Amino acid sequence: MKLAGATTAATAFAGTVGAADEADYETIDAQGQVIRIGQGETFENKLIDLTTGDSVVLLVEGGNSTIRNVGFEGLHRGDGFMISITAPSGDVLIENVYLGDGSTKEGESFVHGPGAVFYHKESSCNVTFRHCNVQGWPNNGFYCSNTASGGSAHFDRCYGKNNGVSTYRVAGGDDAIVDSVAYNDDTDYGPGWGGYTEAHGRPVWVWPGDTVTIENSHFADGPYPHAMVLRESGTAQMSGGAIDGNVQGSGLEQTDVSSSPELSVPEGTPTSAAEAASGGSSDGTTGGVDDAEDGEDTEDAEDGQLLLVEGDSADVTRYEFAVDGSVEQATTDGATIDGEDELEDGSVRGVVADWKDAFRFEGELSSLTVDGPGRVLVDGEEVDPADYGEELPHELEIDGRGAPTSYEITVDGTIELDADEDPDDEATTISGSTVQSSVTDSSQVFRFSGALTDVTFTDGEAAVFLDGERIDPAAYGDTELLPHALVIDGSGTDDPTSYAVTVNGTIVKADPGEATIDADDTIADGTVRGVVDTELDAYWFAGELGDFSLCGDATVDVQYNARDQ
Question: If you average pLDDT over every residue of the chain, what do you get?
Answer: 80
Task: Extract the runs of DSSP E, i.e. beta strands, from 207-363.
Answer: 212-215, 218-220, 228-230, 236-239, 242-244, 247-248, 252-255, 305-310, 317-323, 327-330, 342-344, 347-352, 356-361
The alpha carbon of residue 69 and the mean position of all alpha carbons in its chain are separated, in whole angstroms, by 17
CATH architecture of structural domain 484-564: Sandwich (2.60)
Least confident range of 92-96, 238-242, 284-288, 465-469? 284-288
Residue pLDDT, tens place only, 455-501:
888 888 899 998 888 888 877 754 345 677 888 888 778 778 888 88
Instruction: Please tell me whether residue 168 adopts helix, strand or coil conformation.
Output: strand
Q: Give the pLDDT of residue 260.
A: 94
Instruction: Tell me the C-alpha to C-alpha distance, in Å, between residue 255 and each of 234, 242, 539.
Output: 18, 10, 58
What are the sequence ranges of the domains in the chain?
Answer: 6-290, 303-387, 394-475, 484-564
Residue 217 has pLDDT above 50, yes or no: yes
Q: What string of DSSP letters covers 477-491?
A: S-SSPP-EEEEEE-T
Size of the chain, expressed as the number of residues it contains: 565
* pLDDT (tens digit per residue) in 316-355: 788 889 998 889 888 776 666 665 567 778 888 887 776 7
Q: Find all residues with CB under 8 Å of 469, minimum gap 6, and list them.
A: none
CB 116 within 8 A of CB 140: yes
**Neighbouring residues of 337: CB distance < 8 A, sequence distance ≥ 6:** 329, 331
Which of 7-11, 210-214, 254-258 is predicted with the least confidence, judged by mean pLDDT? Answer: 7-11
pLDDT at 307: 93
Could you give the CA distance from residue 124 to residue 257 in angstroms, rounded to a whole number?
A: 32
Task: Please compute the mean of the pLDDT values over residues 261-283 and round it to a whole number.
Answer: 87
Give the predicted TM-score (pTM) of the model: 0.51
Q: What's the CATH number for 6-290?
A: 2.160.20
From CA 127, how far away is CA 265, in angstroms rounded?
A: 21
CA 107 to chain centre: 36
- 128 forms beta bridges with 93, 154
The winner for highest mean pLDDT among 21-35, 42-56, 283-297, 389-403 is: 42-56
Residues β-bridged to residue 411: 452
- Which residue in 479, 484, 475, 531 sits closest to 503, CA to CA? 484
